[in-house]
Structure 1
Amino acid sequence: MKEHYKILLVDDEEEVRKSIIKKINWEEEGFLVVGDAENGVEALEKIENLNPDLVFTDIRMPYMDGLELIKEINNRYPLIKSIIFSGFDDFDYAKEAIKMGVIEYVLKPVSAIELTEILRKVHKTLDDELSKKRDIEKLRSSYQASIPILREQFLNGLIHGNISKEEIAYALSEYEINLEGASKYIVATVHIDDMDSAIVAKELIPISVKVNLRENLENKLQAEIFSMYSESSITVIAGLPDKMSKNYIMSILSEAIKDTGRVIGVDLTIGLGIIVEDITRLHRSYTLAKEALGYRGIVGTGEVIYIKDMQPVESLRLRFEDIEIKEYINILKFGSDESIMEYVEKIFSKLKESRVHSSQYQSYMINVINVIISLVQDYGLELSVLTKTATDYIDLLDKIKDTGGFREWLLEASINIAHRIREDRVTTSKKVLDEAKSYIEENYADIELSLEKLCKYLHVSVARFSTNFKKETGISYVNFLTNVRLQKAVELLKTTDEKTYIIAEKVGYADQNYFSYVFKKKYGVSPSKYRQQG
């Protein structure tokens, strides 16, 4: 089936545009005429909405000629191709057009037969480019290059329990994961205790630790070593034969810690999770390996900490799981007060029903507090937003000596931080919008005032600001600027006797004719006629 490419026709003569549209069976030749424009300025406005593949433009046009239009298209929309057609057999124009990457230069008048031949040639060019982009070999090469990234994504998904058994079987083979054939599995999380080394540069320490661990575990454990996306720690997944014991694994990891200290000059602490027999249960071992690392303050650094040595099995069920953390943070950011209260009750109910030792209550509470404090820091808020009386972390810990105090504090802190996040979101958006409007009001007379210049002044991205501006004001930036300029022009027409060209310059238009064109388009009459009518 023939590909259809979208065309925008640009010519200041309406009859020419209509003639070109009528004389060709566009669809049969693989094109769709999605619109037309009478000058370069109007064409740029339409390109934003119509997103054509090809612009077919005259050279000589008012306000912005064809070459200027193509220059703007190349800057803003580099994927759009351009064809020049002109009645002026001017070699200089042709040279300039070729420099700009114009794919065809057509002389007027052109017959339907000639134009059809040109379009077929252009269609083949576009087809060839599309074929290259779809080239299977390129895709295969790209895939091969991305395998290290895909391996890392798979391993991260595996320990978070996000991958099905069928996907696991495929990925183990496809990505050459060193876990096939194992009877059971275990996860270890590696914490770099000190990022200052006299041997290795700080930025190279994490990668150096991974390389050293790989060398130490090679031929001793069937293992994969990789980094976590959201954390600074390194993770090890080991596949084990039936007879390999936990003590053997700990001895290998202990030797790796010593060798890392000798070779790289940093201390490591390794948390070791439980052994699981099903690879889909690795997330459980990973969760407990991370929990084991939390005991390094008790055990000390430079050790392998096995989770079962640190707490009884029955207390393991009281955990603020990753999925709960994500859900809680999402509610704080976007939920209502009612949904926040419901979730706090859910947390408290889990705490109350767990019936574990009081030390585990406090461990759970500290996990929740750390999540909240991280969120407070992410938004640059003061700690006082959490409660009226606590001023630092120690004060917060004092607030949660019992579950009743924790429940009261958590509800107050959760609602307070949610309100501040909402306020900051609204305030920031309104502040940027107000600042933009003020800047336009103060600089509308600047002939070179553009969306890019405004966004550079505001230190915001063009795409995001453009979307937010239109969402908040109901009109685009260009229309807003035009309205401001024309309002100022109306004031000058009413209150002064200045010539039209002077008023045009004062409101930001270098071209009097274009000013009159825009003015008449909005008010239905020319500036001079508007003044005469009072």
Structure 2
Amino acid sequence: MYSILLVEDEELERKFLRHLVENCGRPVRVAGEAANGKEAVELAEMLNPDIVLMDIRMPGMDGLEATARIKAKNPAVEVIIITAHGRFSYSQQAIKNKVSDYLLKPVQPEVLAEALDRVITGLEAQPPGVERFLATAPALNAAASDLVKAIRYCDAGTARQSVNRLVDGFLSETGHPDREQLAAFAFEMLVTAGQGLLAAGAGEVAVSSQQNDLAREIKNISSLPGLVAWAEKVYRVHISWVQEHNATGDRAVIRRVQEYMRRHYSRGVTLEEAAGYVHLSPAYLSRLFKQKTGSSFVEHLTALRLEGAKELLIASDQTIDQIATTVGFKNNSYFTAVFKKREGVTPSEFRARGQADGSRA
């Protein structure tokens, strides 16, 4: 007997689904009901169901996000998506690979029965060693989490490393995987990559459109090299989408970084610190900063320090040493060298010229 978790925010529709499940004539039972995505995630962790019937449109956490979180905890669970719009699909090939299904509202009894038959067949045929390898391997959970972050922040280097760790962990669990095991693992990786798009602000339609072609290609994976090549394509496609659609968001991020630098330049703010402030990897922030401003992070930081120094040279009676320390330079010699290179005069000459101009005014 297979357990089912029903997830539907409309009470009447949830009761209707229970009725369909209880009268479908399949070896299934309703283990629990959830009225929203948050409840679904919590109940799935408690009940550990074999199957989840998931409405895609719910307030708060929608069905797509709930699905991603549930499968992150339990990759073996089969999720059947229910939608009134017919817009969500990882592709027909994903269904054929015995990993999921989707149904259109109003759900017809015979259609639900057919979907359950496909899912149950997949559960029965699930090869040992694969069904819960992500859930039982903390190192792989960490690699999956890193892949999500790498896609969200367009960090191709980290994404590649995460994919390699996932593949290595998969091989350590399975030894010599067959085609079904390769397909099951590939879909789990695709779901994980989709979480990266969701974290970057993509909607369900965007995730679906990016993943349909990739899911169709799963049937062609017959070897480890084929899996690795496909996995590399997965993260590149997902990162490309984020880069193309986050131009406005990127500009806002750079403005936040620049403001943070203005507030903290005097104490020696670092690229790593600024990256942490906006939740980006240092490597990605460095590239993005140069792309959006035309100058490097260090060049911009130096310019801020020199502007602050010029103000103090004119408006204060601090010594050159004191000013150098105040704006974040470690010693007077380096400060003087940088100042002269940028301004064409030494700090002392700049101060004298500014005071002379002030006296004439």
TM-score normalised by the chain length of structure 1: 0.28
TM-score normalised by the chain length of structure 2: 0.38
More relative contact order, 1 or 2 (CA 8 Å, 6+ apart): 2
